[in-house]
Amino acid sequence: MKATTSVVIVGFGLVVSLSGCSGSSTSPSPSAARTAPSSAAGRSAPIGLVAIGHSGLTAENSDAAAPGQPAPQNSWATGTSRRVDSVYRRMVAAIPATKGKVVNNATGGASVATLAGQAEAALLTVPTPALVIVQTIDSDIQCDGSDVANVPRFGLALRDALRSITAASPDSKLLVVGQLGRPRPAFVKRVVAAHPEVKGDLSGSGICDFYDEHGRLVPAHFGTLTRIIGKYEAEQARVCAEIPNCQTDGGVRATYKDKLANFTDDWNHLNVRGQADEAALIWPVVAKILNVR
Q: What is the pLDDT of residue 205?
A: 96
**What CA–CA distances, in Å, run from 225 to 3, 5, 187, 207, 219?**
10, 16, 15, 8, 10
At 185, is the pLDDT very low, low, confident or very high (cuts 50, 70, 90)?
very high
Q: Examine residue 160 and state whether it is found in any structural domain, yes or no.
A: yes
Percent of the chain residues past pLDDT 90, beyond the cut: 84
Q: What is the pLDDT of residue 39?
A: 53
Of 19-28, 55-64, 84-93, 259-268, which gets the smallest average pLDDT? 19-28
At 27, is the pLDDT very low, low, confident or very high (cuts 50, 70, 90)?
very low
Phi first, then psi: what are they for 197, rounded to 5°? Answer: -65, -20
Q: Examine residue 264 and state whether it is found in any structural domain, yes or no.
A: yes
Cα 233 versus chain centre, distance: 13
Count of the separate structural domains present in the chain: 1
pLDDT in tens, 148-166: 999 999 999 999 999 999 9
Q: Examine residue 34 and state whether it is found in any structural domain, yes or no.
A: no
In angstroms, the CA 230 to CA 223 distance is 10
Greater pLDDT, 37 or 55:
55
CATH of the domain at 210: 3.40.50.1110
pTM above 0.85, yes or no: yes
DSSP string, the chain: --TTTS---GGGT-------------PPPTTT--PPPB-GGGPBPP--EEEEESGGGTTTT--TTSTTS--GGG-TTT---TTTT-HHHHHHHH-GGGTT-EEE---TT--GGGHHHHHHHHHHHSSS-SEEEEE--GGG---SS-HHHHHHHHHHHHHHHHHHHHHH-TT-EEEEE--SS---HHHHHHHHHH-GGGGGGGBSSSTT-SB-TTS-B-HHHHHHHHHHHHHHHHHHHHHHHTSTTEEE-TTTGGG----GGGB-TTSSSB-HHHHHHHHHHHHHHHHHHHT--
Q: Examine residue 170 and state whether it is found in any structural domain, yes or no.
A: yes
Q: Which domain holds residue 161?
A: 10-25+45-290
Is 287 a residue whose pLDDT tops 80?
yes
Is 19 a residue whose pLDDT tops 80?
no
Q: Examine residue 39 and state whether it is found in any structural domain, yes or no.
A: no
